[in-house]
Amino acid sequence: ARLIVCADRASKRKLPSHLEGLTSELASNTKIDWYRKCDDDFMRGVYYRSHIFAYPTDYPEVSYTPLIRAMSASCFCLHSSYGSLPETSLSNTSMYGYDEDRLQHANKFTSELEGTLNIYNHKGLRASMMRELENRKSSIDDVYDWKKRSYQWNDLLLNLLT
């Protein structure tokens, strides 16, 4: 198994000193691919090469787009209940309760990720999980079809004007 990390390592300067060592260790691990400043085309390829999408974000302006793209790529998605992620997930993901305490949040995330990896490492459970995710893909793609959404927004705006 490989871990793909898409994040700017320069942000480690903002981390507490006890986490800088962990970041350095992760960056030097040969089983981790660490990409910086990834554009949309690159990310689309990453989603389709991945099996698990872990999104432990605690940013106030959390973006739902990575979660939508990962669900569309049939990734097993793990994320917190922060922001609009519960609504965005359409109950098709593994979600844990968000905690404002960053240490507690990290502990919850780590525990949930361990459970996810245990499922993934069990051949039978993994096959079942992948079938289920593939079955849900069409409904996710239908709900989050950007062309369909643009027509809905145009209709809404036209109705507001009349």
What the block records as the tokens of 149 is: 């959404």
Q: Which domains does the chain have, with CATH numbers?
A: 1-36 (no CATH), 38-148 (3.40.50.2000)
pLDDT at 11 over 60: no
Q: What value does the mean pLDDT of the chain take?
A: 86
Interval 77-120: pLDDT, tens: 999 999 889 999 999 999 999 999 988 998 999 999 999 999 99
Query: Which position has the token pair 């990834």?
Result: 38
Interval 16-30: pLDDT, tens: 666 677 777 777 888
Answer yes or no: are the C-beta atoms of 92 and 86 closer than 8 Å: no
Distance CA 156, CA 127 (A): 42
Where is 129: in which H helix or E strand?
helix 123-143
* Model confidence, pTM: 0.77
Distance CA 26, CA 57 (A): 18
> What's residue 53's pLDDT?
92
Of residues 11 and 14, the one with the higher pLDDT is: 14
Distance CA 134, CA 97 (A): 25
**Cβ contacts of 8 within 8 Å, gap of 6 or more:** 36, 37
